[in-house]
């Protein structure tokens, strides 16, 4: 039995930021989106729904979410069953960033080193995989990392 969880059209599992990402895409076109989990948004990007959707932070949050969408959305359907064991697929995301997609020994999707938490969530023509991390290029990753150690 594979480790990953298949979920069918569960809006709540996407979280606030995941739903924001999906709302930025046209509903009538087929896309696959590798959405960070709520935990990953907080851990890796320091975004919290309660803090990020009020006042001046709201526009910054939308800018970050749209940038993450560019790194993690592919204009085609990529169901988890399409990736065979020992196989690596590569596709360009909307931003042109190359995504390398494979499965680990436990059957989880792995995209650019980020493992899936839940897969194959359908929202109309959109297919969503929830990831335990944020897919982004090195330049953007540097821009969202703190300039100091949080222990200081």
Q: What is the pLDDT of residues 77-115, one digit of tens each?
A: 999 999 998 899 999 999 999 999 999 998 899 999 999
Please give the share of the chain, as a percent, with pLDDT higher than 70.
83
Contacts of 106 (CB under 8 A, 6+ apart): 2, 3, 4
Q: For 108-129, what is the mean pLDDT? A: 95
> Does the domain formed by 5-144 have CATH 2.30.180.10?
yes
Confidence of residue 152 (pLDDT cuts 50, 70, 90): very low
Tell me what pLDDT residue 56 has.
62
Q: Is the pLDDT of residue 137 over 80?
A: yes
Q: Where are the domains of the chain?
A: 5-144
Average pLDDT over the chain reads 85
Q: Is the pLDDT of residue 8 over 50?
A: no
């Amino acid at each position: 039995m594979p480790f990953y969880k298949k979920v069918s059209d569960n809006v709540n599992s996407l979280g606030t930021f995941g739903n924001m990402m999906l709302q930025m895409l046209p509903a009538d076109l087929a896309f696959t989106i590798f959405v960070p989990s709520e935990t990953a948004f907080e851990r890796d990007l320091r975004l919290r729904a309660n803090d990020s959707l009020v006042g001046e932070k709201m526009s910054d949050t939308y800018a970050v979410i749209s940038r993450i969408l560019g790194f993690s959305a592919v204009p085609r359907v990529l169901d988890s069953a399409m990736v065979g064991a020992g196989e690596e697929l590569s596709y360009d995301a909307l931003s042109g960033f190359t995504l390398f997609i494979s499965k680990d020994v436990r059957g989880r999707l792995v995209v650019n080193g980020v493992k899936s938490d839940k897969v194959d969530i359908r929202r109309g023509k959109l297919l969503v995989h929830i990831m335990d991390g944020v897919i982004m290029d090195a330049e953007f990753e540097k821009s969202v990392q703190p300039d100091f150690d949080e222990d200081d």
